[in-house]
């Protein structure tokens, strides 16, 4: 934590090493988060570039985050994704989001096949059943490991509101997974 | 945070999804990092320049102290160069400069003519025409029985220019007479009688009065019986 604060203070003074360290530390995570939201690697890459360009502008203007740099970067990425999704409704194929399950590498076991089916059903449900807020909260809470407070800061809502959104999102996913699994079996 | 047991399976799946690959492709990440470092260098250079300007504004010394002497020398050289260039330009265009200063100091050649002030008068519309008016002053003599209703005098005094022949006693001939006419009820305004002022006696001097031009005396030679008028008259005579 103290390292994070020291890094942030050095970055505010436009120290090149500190700024480079921040990029190396957070760029892959921001890319992953953005890719989960927009499902397009090129868009995700562009958003990463915009996030760090905005961070530089803020530091050069004597502004920017004072305490929680990680939340600030995710918040910027979230707003950029929302802005882009308003301009262009675009969904990439599911394989991009799933990512891990590369085909043809090895022969999957029965358990792995079941797990893969479950994961695809989950991703489909996340993309089709959830609202934008519910999807963002679920991703931030369970895929990016943000606390309720941090998630509330990033989304710009109250903590209690985030709790409600999260519970409703999980309930929708459970229902969708149950239906999909019933259909598939 | 405690979750509903029904949701445990969903949350477990979500945790697994977290470990899924979604890594930044290395080539893409390298390009993005390169661009970012370029931006950082620009911002840092700008910030360094801003800091240097701030130090100069504060009058700080140190690293800039050594260069301040060189800066003073360059500044002096620049001032000398500017003065020399201004002198050369003035010498080359001295005629135009002289003409310019003359045109500034010279008084304007075109005189301004101010129009005479127009005095507005309430009688501006009243125009007096010097037309001579011959007036006859009539003296009305009323004879007869007295009437119980006396005539009420009405009318306004009027000014009249009277032009007449100059009296021999040196008068100018133009008299301004003020007369108050009294209208008589029932009368048509015509003169019923009266005396008129006649021209004074010329006392033998005919002057150039019309009809009183002295006739030239005839001078006829005793032997000359023909005249031009007689010839022409004989020519125009019709034969019977």
Q: State phi, psi for B163 to the nearest 5 degrees.
A: -105, 125
Position A41 pLDDT exceeds 70: yes
State if pTM tops 0.90.
no
Cα–Cα dist A11/B42, whole Å? 14
CATH of domain A94-185: 1.10.10.10
Overall average pLDDT of the B156-162 stretch: 49
Which residue would you say has higher pLDDT here, A65 or A111? Answer: A65
Q: Is the domain A1-92 a CATH 3.40.50.300 member?
A: no
Overall average pLDDT of the B159-169 stretch: 46
Restricting to A residues 3-42, those with a Cβ less than 8 Å away from any Cβ of B are 14, 16, 19-20, 23-24, 27-28, 31-32, 35-36, 41
| CB atoms B15 and A177 under 8 Å | no
Cβ atoms within 10 A of the Cβ of B103, count? 8
Residue A126 and residue A37 in contact, taking contact as beta carbons nearer than 8 Å: no
Per residue in A143-157, pLDDT (tens digit) is 888 999 999 999 899
Q: Helix, strand, coil proportions of chain A in percent (round to 5)?
A: 75, 0, 25
For A65-70, the CB contacts below 8 A with 24+ separation are A65/A8, A66/A8, A67/A5, A67/A8, A68/A150, A68/A153, A69/A4, A69/A7, A69/A8, A69/A11, A69/A22, A69/A26, A70/A4, A70/A26, A70/A150
Local confidence band at B234 (pLDDT 50, 70, 90 cut-offs): very low
Cα–Cα dist A35/A47, whole Å? 9
Chain B residue with the nearest C-alpha to that of A95: B22
| CB atoms A119 and B41 under 8 Å | no
Position A88 pLDDT exceeds 70: no
- Residue A163 has which token pair? 């709790």
Per residue in B112-151, pLDDT (tens digit) is 666 666 665 555 555 555 555 555 565 555 555 554 554 4
User: Which among A28, A98, A174 has CB closest to B20?
Assistant: A98
Contacting residues of A for B40, CB less than 8 Å apart: 14, 16, 19-20, 56
Per residue in B57-84, pLDDT (tens digit) is 555 444 444 456 677 788 888 999 999 9
Torsional class of A137: left (φ above 0), alpha (ψ -120 to 50), beta (otherwise): alpha
To the nearest whole percent, how much of chain B has pLDDT over 70? 34
**Could you state, in order of their start, the residue ranges of all structural domains in chain A?**
1-92, 94-185
B41 touches A: beta carbon within 8 Å: yes
Q: Which one of B3, B8, B10 would you mutate to disrupt binding with A, by most A Cβ within 10 Å of its Cβ?
A: B10
Position B163 pLDDT exceeds 50: no
- Residue A115 has which token pair? 């797990």
| CB atoms A27 and B29 under 8 Å | yes
């Amino acid at each position: 934590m103290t390292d994070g604060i020291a890094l942030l203070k050095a970055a505010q003074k436009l120290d090149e090493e500190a700024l480079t360290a921040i990029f190396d530390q957070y760029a892959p995570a921001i890319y992953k988060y953005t890719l989960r939201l927009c499902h397009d690697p090129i868009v995700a890459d562009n958003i990463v570039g915009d996030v760090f360009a905005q961070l530089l502008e803020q530091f050069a203007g004597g502004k920017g985050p004072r305490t929680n740099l990680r939340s600030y970067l995710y918040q910027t990425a979230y707003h950029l994704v929302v802005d882009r999704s308003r301009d262009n409704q675009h969904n990439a194929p599911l394989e991009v989001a799933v990512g891990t399950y590369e085909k043809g590498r090895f022969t999957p076991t029965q358990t792995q096949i079941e797990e893969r089916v479950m994961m695809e059903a989950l991703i489909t449900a996340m993309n089709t059943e959830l609202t934008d807020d519910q999807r963002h909260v679920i991703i931030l809470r369970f895929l990016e490991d943000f606390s309720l407070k941090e998630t509330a800061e990033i989304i710009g809502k109250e903590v209690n509101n985030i709790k409600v959104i999260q519970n409703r999102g999980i309930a929708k996913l459970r229902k969708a997974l149950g239906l999909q699994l019933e259909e598939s079996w | 945070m405690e979750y509903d047991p029904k949701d445990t399976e969903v949350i477990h799946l979500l945790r697994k999804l977290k470990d899924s690959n979604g890594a930044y492709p290395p080539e893409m990440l390298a390009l993005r990092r390169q661009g970012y470092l370029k931006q950082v260098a620009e911002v840092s250079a700008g910030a360094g320049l801003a800091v240097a300007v701030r130090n100069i504004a504060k009058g700080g010394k140190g690293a800039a102290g050594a260069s301040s002497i060189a800066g003073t020398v360059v500044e002096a050289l620049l001032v000398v160069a500017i003065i020399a260039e201004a002198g050369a330009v003035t010498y080359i265009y001295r005629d135009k400069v002289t003409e310019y200063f003359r045109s500034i100091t010279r008084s304007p050649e075109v005189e301004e003519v101010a129009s005479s002030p127009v005095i507005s008068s309430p009688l501006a519309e009243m125009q007096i025409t010097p037309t001579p008016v011959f007036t006859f002053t009539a003296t009305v003599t009323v004879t007869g029985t007295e009437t119980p209703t006396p005539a009420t005098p009405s009318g306004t005094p009027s000014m009249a220019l009277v032009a007449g022949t100059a009296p021999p006693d040196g008068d100018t001939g133009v008299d301004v007479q003020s007369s108050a006419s009294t209208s008589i009820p029932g009368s048509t305004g015509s003169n019923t009688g009266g005396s008129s002022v006649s021209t004074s006696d010329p006392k033998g001097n005919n002057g150039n009065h019309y009809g009183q031009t002295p006739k030239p005396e005839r001078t006829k030679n005793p032997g000359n019986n023909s005249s031009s008028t007689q010839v022409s008259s004989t020519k125009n005579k019709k034969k019977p």
